Amino acid sequence: MDEPTILRFPTSPGASVATADELDLQTILAAWNEATDRLQRTHEALSAEVRRLSDELDAKNRELARKNRLADLGQMASHVTHEVRNSLVPMKLYLSLLRRRIDGDSGSLDVLDKVMSGFTALEATVGDLLHFSSQRDPRRERLRLAKLLDEVVLSLQPQLAAQNICARLDCPPGLAAMVDPDMLRRAILNLLLNALDVLPAGGELVLTACRTRSGLEIEIADSGPGVPGPLIDRLFEPFFTTKAGGTCLGLAIVERIAVAHGSRVTVANCAEGGAAFTLIFPQTSLAMERAA
């Protein structure tokens, strides 16, 4: 009987021939390593997404808590304001009657003038509280912005001259939008008054209005010292201020007016110095204006 023929393949010296079991094991290990790498990448991606969602949830929770605090403050301010205002009306009437009785007494009139000055300041405080607590929707109408900005600047001209402040306007004559004139006027006035506070020794104010990709932007920039970095995020908080006087509601009112219009207000330090506050109205304001 013939012996079976055994086929032998030549190998180089020192080389070993991998068996079928070894090849299967290498394939399994390679697949295992690839699966492990995929799981690691998936785990890292999921961890990053969880961190992102957690940060987003924290931010939304902080914003919700802030809105709840503002709502509570608004209700409190509304109640206090109406009570104070109701008391102010008869007191001012009595002061007017008193002025008639002491007419001619210069000493008494001087004292009365100081009392009236205090009441004027109190009325300004009540006005700020009313604006802050107001929740009404904007009564929109077509408004030429150049005219509004010019009117607000003219109303402050005596104070601008007294502080040696130069105000410049840069606004196309035909630029208009559908906004609430009274609310926007109040927002611009508050931003200008805020700028005046940081320019006691004079300086420059630039009011700019233009269309951008974001919509309509109204910027008020000053040549003051700018805003310290840690304070930027707190500027629009009610009752937060770095000044000695006032109601501390001016910028909070500006933000409320912006939100009521579906817009926003931002603040940034200028590269050349000073700070710039910008009201950004969405494209809908321009679309409404074009349709009007």
Give the CATH number of the domain where residue 183 resides: 3.30.565.10
Domain co-membership, 64 together with 89: yes
Beta-strand runs (E) in 134-235 = 141-144, 165-170, 176-179, 203-212, 215-222
Query: Does pLDDT of 15 surpass 50?
Result: no
Give the pLDDT score at 8.
47
User: 274: helix, coil or strand?
Assistant: coil
| Cα–Cα dist 51/44, whole Å | 11
User: Which carries the bigger pLDDT value, residue 149 or residue 88?
Assistant: 149
Q: Tell me the pLDDT band of 141, cut-offs 50, 70 and 90.
A: very high
Domain extent for 95: 20-135
Under DSSP, the state recorded for 228 is -
Give the pLDDT score at 253.
86
Average pLDDT of the segment spanning 48-59 = 87
Beta bridge partners of 209: 218
Domain co-membership, 155 together with 281: yes
3 backbone dihedrals φ, ψ, rounded to 5°: -75, 145
Task: Encode pLDDT of 253-265 as tens digits.
Answer: 898 889 889 899 9
Average pLDDT of the segment spanning 183-212 = 91
What is the share, in percent, of the chain residues with pLDDT greater than 90?
Answer: 25
Question: Of 99, 117, 135, which residue sits at a domain end?
Answer: 135
Instruction: Record the tokens describing residue 175, joined without a space.
Output: 């630029």
152 inside domain: yes
- Statement: the pTM of the whole predicted model exceeds 0.75: no
Domain co-membership, 226 together with 245: yes
11 inside domain: no
Domain co-membership, 158 together with 106: no
Cα-trace Rg, the chain: 34
Domain co-membership, 62 together with 45: yes
User: 142: helix, coil or strand?
Assistant: strand
Average pLDDT of the segment spanning 131-152 = 85
DSSP string, 35-93: HHHHHHHHHHHHHHHHHHHHHHHHHHHHHHHHHHHHHHHHHHHHHHHHHHHHHHHHHHH
Average pLDDT of the segment spanning 110-119 = 78
Give the pLDDT score at 2.
52
Q: How many structural domains does the chain have? A: 2
Under DSSP, the state recorded for 171 is -
Query: Does pLDDT of 213 surpass 90?
Result: no
Question: Of 85, 117, 135, which residue sits at a domain end?
Answer: 135
71 inside domain: yes
Give the pLDDT score at 7.
44
